[in-house]
Amino acid sequence: MIKMSYVLAYILASQAIAAEPKMTTCRLAAMEKLSTTEVLCFYIGAQNTEESHVSGLTVGCMRQYQCEYNPKPPGMSLKDTLNSIKEAMQ
């Protein structure tokens, strides 16, 4: 009975560890003013991990933070992505 509880505890612990997302450091790559009060912060991390956030203009963008590791194959460059965002907003 005791051995079974150890096995169950081990299985639950390994599932909890597997459920935690892998993290990486995302650094500010670009900042684009959206309006008089908002700015778009665009971040790049390891292996093309990309994230973006909208922030208040007075607050600004963090220089770096821990984001979820999400590798992407090489594709559109940062410049292409920013241009498509600008076109979509017009």
Q: What is the DSSP secondary structure assignment for residue 74, as one 8-state letter?
A: S
Structural domain includes residue 55: yes
pLDDT confidence band for 1 (50 / 70 / 90): very low
CA distance 42 to 81: 10
CATH code where residue 33 lies: 2.40.50
Structural domain includes residue 14: no
Per residue in 6-50, pLDDT (tens digit) is: 555 566 555 555 567 889 999 999 898 888 999 989 999 988 888
Structural domain includes residue 41: yes
Count of domains observed in the chain: 1
Number of helices (H), then strands (E), belonging to the chain: the values are 2, 4
Structural domain includes residue 70: yes
Mean pLDDT of 57-84: 83
pLDDT value of position 16: 54
Structural domain includes residue 8: no
* pTM more than 0.95: no
Structural domain includes residue 16: no
Mean pLDDT of 70-84: 75
Structural domain includes residue 35: yes
Domain encompassing residue 65:
22-89
pLDDT value of position 47: 87
